[in-house]
Amino acid sequence: MTKLSVNINKVATLRNARGGNNPNVLAVALDCESFGAQGITVHPRPDERHIRRSDVFALKPALRTEFNIEGYPDERFRELVLAVRPAQVTLVPDSPEQLTSNHGWDTVAHAAFLKTVVAEMRAAGIRTSIFVSTDISMVEGAAACGADRVELYTEPYAAGYAADREGAVAPFVEAANVAKQLGLGLNAGHDLSLENLAYLHECIPWMDEVSIGHALICDALYLGLQETIRRYLACLK
C-alpha cells in the first residue's frame, strides 16, 4: 500500500503571513490524520518561513501516524531531527535561500557526507530517505550511502504529464525498478496532484509513500480538506 503523507508547510505559510496562530498547524495536522492521511511531512527551513522549530516539537508527541522531517542536513537540522526522532528523515540538497526543492542529490559527489548522515540517523533508529532524480547512478549512489529509501523528485513527471504521460513516467518506472532491485524503499514527491497521481501509482504500485503539500492545500481551498484527502487516497487504490 502506498501511504499518503501530507506536507503541511503551506498551512504554516498562511499562518505566518498574518501572525497569530490561525490556521493552527497542529490542529490541521491532526485533522489530516483523522481524514485518512497516513503521515505528516514538514520541511523546517533555517529562516522558519513556514514550519518553525517549535512546530516540530509540538507535532511529534501529538501525531498518531508517521512523522517525516525533510531538509538539508546541516548541523542545526541534524540536531533537531535527533532531538525529535521522527519515523523518517528525508535528506534534500536545498540551499537555505531556495524557494522549494528543485533537484535531487548527487549521491556520488556527496557520498562521504551522506554516508555520515545516514549512519548518524540509523544509529538513532530513524529511517532515512534521500531525495534523488531518476538518474540511475544517483539511485545506486543512495543505496551505497546506506539509505533505507529514495524519494524520487517528480516535478519532471508532472511537467510532462499532460503532453505525454507515458514518456513522462518512463524514467520513473526505470528508476523505481532499480531501487527495488537494490532493496531500497521508494517514496515520491513534488508537484504530484489529483491530475497525475493515479497514473504514477498505476505504473509504480509498489511505492511506499507519496508526500504532497502544495497541490493538496490548493485543492482543499475549493473542495475542503476532508474531501481533498479522500480524493488523493482514492488515487492510491
| pLDDT tens per residue across span 162-211 | 999 999 999 999 999 999 999 999 999 999 999 999 999 999 999 999 99
201 among known catalytic residues: no
43 among known catalytic residues: yes
Confidence at residue 74, expressed as pLDDT on a 0 to 100 scale: 95
* Separation between Cα atoms, residue 15 and residue 29, nearest integer Å: 13
- Residue 166: what are its φ and ψ, rounded to 5°? -65, -45
The string of pLDDT tens digits covering residues 66-91 is 999 999 999 999 999 999 999 999 99
DSSP state of 131: E
Residue 3 has pLDDT above 80, yes or no: yes
Which of 43, 50, 151, 201 is an active site residue? Answer: 43
- Residue 212: what are its φ and ψ, rounded to 5°? -135, 130
Confidence at residue 96, expressed as pLDDT on a 0 to 100 scale: 59
Mean pLDDT of the chain: 96
Give yes or no for a contact between 133 and 88, defined as CB atoms under 8 angstroms apart: no
Confidence at residue 103, expressed as pLDDT on a 0 to 100 scale: 75
Residue 99 has pLDDT above 80, yes or no: no
Neighbours of 46 (CB within 10 A): 14
What number of residues does the chain have? Answer: 237
Residue 24 pLDDT grade (very low, low, confident, very high; cuts 50, 70, 90): very high
Q: Where do the domains of the chain lie?
A: 3-235
CA dihedral 163, 217, 47, 152 (to 10 degrees): -40
What angle (nearest 5°) sits at the alpha carbon of residue 4, between those of residues 158 and 99?
Answer: 50
Q: 188 is written with which cell numbers? A: 515520491
Give me the CATH topology for the region 3-235. Answer: TIM Barrel (3.20.20)
190 among known catalytic residues: yes
Residue 105 has pLDDT above 90, yes or no: yes
Which of 70, 140, 151, 209 is an active site residue? Answer: 70
The predicted model gives 2-13 an average pLDDT of 98
Residue 101 has pLDDT above 70, yes or no: no
Which of 151, 190, 201, 209 is an active site residue? Answer: 190
